[in-house]
Structure 1
Amino acid sequence: MVFDVKRPLIPDIASAAGVSTATVDRVLNRRAGVRRVTLHRVLQAALQIGYLDESEVNRRLGPAFSKVVFLLPQGTNPYLTGLNVYVRALAEQSVEPIKVRSHFIESFNPDALVRALRRYGKTSDVIVFMAIEHPKVRQVIDELVHAGKRVITVISDLPTSNRHAYIGIDNFAAGRTAAKVMGRFCRAPRGKLALVAASRAYRAPRGKLALVAASRAYRAHMEREMGFLALIEESFPHLTVIGPQEGHDNRDENYVNTCRLLEQHDDLVGIYNVGGSSDGIGRALRELKRSDDICFIGHGLTPDTRTMLIEGIMDLVITQSPSAIYAQALQLASDERYESSAIAMELYFAENLPAASPWLP
């Protein structure tokens, strides 16, 4: 006996997906005007009732999101400049179905960031950007998410927003790590202090540590600052923290501020730069011949910080891999079920520097 099994029809898919038959028709015939979330729901319904098999559904879905844009702050921060060069170099090699673009935007300006998010969000499926702590930025994130876009923050997060994922290091832990190393280093005789230590029993010097920040508009810098202050207070009460001095990731501002700090505080024993453009600080230490007296820790392994490590002007650089940031961003674009994980915090001294990256200027 032969049974006539009824083949599922478009109305059956529409009923299972909770959409109109016109929407199902657009999905099955690959017409424009269907949001990604709706496309996914219709195809899953077609699979569930047996209209399509799993291989056909996966083929029709393709990458979760095909157009990815990176928006990074413009300025003199060598790490961000290098990251943009890295992204653009790989973006030129990207092939269908995923296309990647990268743009610089005005640093520290929430209005400029909002305009860029709206502008590039219209033509992109995934927007990857360094977040600024501001209500206007949260609002535009909500707009993008509601429009079906995938929103990803990098380096500096905005966890109180509806962004889908954050790619970067644990910045609070980074600040505590810098404090741990600096507190230990400042126990040892450095420069002129070594002469005193040679003549009498040595005790940990009472000195000052300077905090240098780009701007508190970035949560990453606030978290690094909080982590640093907390551990210094807990473990190294003989050291006093001054600042932060805001240098806006500008090498010239960092240079002027550091010269002023060195002139005003002859008992300064350490500088922690939570932002970028450490070359301005290094220039001041070099010109005033204070690099032997001061422990200097900063962020972002770039050609300038690499040189300062080798020359002994910097003691430690905390960084995060551009390749890891890029790889996670593309993974989040190609698989909407993928969950991002924290980027590994990398610590570099002069003795363990990796080979120079060909992507960075």
Structure 2
Amino acid sequence: MMVFDGRRPLIPDIATMAGVSTATVDRVLNRRSGVREATLRRVLEAAVHIGYMDKEELSKRLGPRFAKVVFLLPRGTNPYLTGLNTRVRELADLSPGPVKVRSHFIESFNPDALAQALRRYGKSADTVVFMAIDHPQVRQAIDELVMAGKRIITIISDLPSSNRHLYLGIDNFAAGRTAAQIMGRFCHVTSGKLALIAASRAYRAHMEREMGFLALTEASFPYLSVIGPHEGHDNRDENYQNTCRLLQAHPDIVGIYNVGGASDGIGRALRESRRDADICFIGHGLTPDTRSMLLDGTMDAVITQSPDLIYSRAIAAATGEQTDVAPVAMEIYFSENLPAAHHVM
């Protein structure tokens, strides 16, 4: 049994009782971030046990506190990500409870920029929510933040080889297989080509969608050959130019699957070539532009994931109320089952 003298307990006494360093005790007592929840509780309980603070103060310290959450999203012309950022900011103003939410755009497809942003914004945040790029620099930044007691959540595109706590998004391999199933059923031909257009293979989500699409097409529709992927970096102008070249070089294209965003560039090329009625076009992200293309027949189907659900589950995970690791529900829309327009970003 540990015995202390009659003097007022000091930080070293708390450190000894809790089995941590004096620096950790100092961080806890001065309410600085970077301490794991279990360690924080152990230090505070040790402080009560030796008489440094009373139980009322302990209750205050362990009670609700503001959880600082930061969202990091890629900058670019991807309407879904732009809309997600807007929706995050709208929902942040409505979030009940002790949560402070901020969102920032960062340079797209740049692992160094993402790693720097993780370290920069992770210093003052309790939880960082972001779309991961599969790169060693990003994994290192994640692992550093986790070691510092931060909660790391990936959305839309995962990085499972890191120490991130949670992934929130659809099953992207299943999404690619679903796109192939729909396209194979819609293309009433005995032979033809399917074109794959991607943003960048830096995103694991796009690689998984591509792999799922290729696997099911080969198994179920062997008479359809796949060309690509052609990277458009979620840029409508690049997607437009890629599609124009594909249509000119391959007159036997019967389907296009865009695994990324900025589908409006592809739609423009299809309409200008007057091939929009002949080619099955499937993409991701229900946004104002994809909604319009579903209604006018340029697109046949859109696979999406609810930004509201991603946000609510991220906040629940940040505040310790959500530990569910099940994928976010995949939503598929055609022209006939579109939700009300105000539900679209």
* Common topology (TM > 0.5): yes
Q: Secondary structure of the equivalent of 1:72?
A: strand
Q: 1:145 to 1:359 in 2, by over 3 A?
A: same
Q: Which residue of 2 aligns with 1:290?
A: 275
Shift of 1:66: 1.0
Q: Kindly provide the amino acid, as one letter, of the partner of residue 137 in structure 2.
A: K
Asked whether the 8 Å contact 1:65–1:333 carries over to 2, the reply is no
Instruction: State the one-letter code of the partner of 2:304.
Output: T
Aligned mate of 1:208, from 193, 205, 216: 193
Q: Give unpaired runs (5+ residues) of structure 1.
A: 1-8, 188-203
Q: Hey, what's the Cα distance between the residues in 2 that align with 1:326 and 1:92?
A: 12
Check the 8 A contact 1:213/1:275 in 2, yes or no.
yes
Counterpart of 1:19 in structure 2 is: 20
Equivalent residue for 2:109? 108
1:280-310 superposed Cα distances (whole Å, 9 cap, x missing partner): 0001111111111110000000000000001
Q: Paired residue for 1:344? A: 329
Q: How far apart in 2 are the matches of 1:22 and 1:136? A: 28
Asked if structure 2 preserves the Cα contact closer than 8 Å seen for 1:73 and 1:80, the reply is yes
In the alignment, structure 1 residue 36 sits paired with structure 2 residue 21: no
1:88 corresponds to: 89
* Distance in 1 of aligned mates of 2:30 and 2:112: 35
- 1:88 shift after superposition: 1.2
Q: Is the 8 A contact 2:35 2:148 kept in 1?
A: no
Larger Rg: 1
Give the paired residue count. 333
SS in 2 for 1:318: strand
1:76 & 1:266 partners in 2: Cα distance? 28
Residue 259 of structure 1: SS of its match in structure 2? helix
CA contact (8 A) 1:251 1:281 kept: yes
Q: Which runs of 5+ in 2 are unaligned?
A: 1-7
User: What is the CA-CA distance between 1:13 and the residue it aligns to?
Assistant: 6.9
Deviations along 1:93-139, one digit per CA (max 9) or x if unpaired, are 44662100000011001111111111111111111111111111111
The one-character-per-residue Cα deviations of 1:185-206 (angstroms, maximum 9, x if unpaired) are: 113xxxxxxxxxxxxxxxx420
On the 8 A contact 2:316/2:322 being kept in 1, the answer is no
Residue type of the alignment partner of 1:246: E
Change (3 A) 1:22 1:248: closer
Deviations 1:187-229 (A, max 9, x none): 3xxxxxxxxxxxxxxxx42000000000000000000000000
- C-alpha RMSD of the superposition: 2.7
**TM-score, normalization: structure 1?**
0.84
Any idea what SS the aligned residue of 2:286 has?
coil
- In the alignment, the residues of structure 2 paired with residue 132 and residue 273 of structure 1 have an alpha-carbon distance, to the nearest angstrom, of 19
SS state of the match for residue 341, structure 2? coil
Q: Report the CA distance shift for 1:315/1:34 in structure 2 as closer, same or farther (over 3 A).
A: closer
Q: Is the 8 A contact 1:63 1:333 kept in 2?
A: no
Q: 1:63, 1:98 within 8 Å by CA — same for their partners in 2?
A: no
What SS does structure 2 have at the residue aligned with 1:293? coil
State the partner residue of 1:183: 184
Q: Which residue of 2 aligns with 1:139?
A: 140
Q: Is the 8 A contact 1:64 1:336 kept in 2?
A: no
Distance across 2 between alignment mates of 1:26 and 1:251: 48
Instruction: Give the Cα–Cα distance (whole angstroms) in 2 for the partners of residues 356 and 248 of structure 1.
Output: 27
Inter-partner Cα distance in structure 2 for 1:44 and 1:356? 52
What is the CA–CA distance in structure 1 between the aligned matches of 2:14 and 2:260, rounded to whole Å?
53
How far does residue 22 in structure 1 lie from its aligned partner after superposition?
A: 8.6
Check whether the contact 2:34–2:150 (CA below 8 A) recurs between aligned residues: no
Contact 2:24 2:35 in 1 (8 A): no
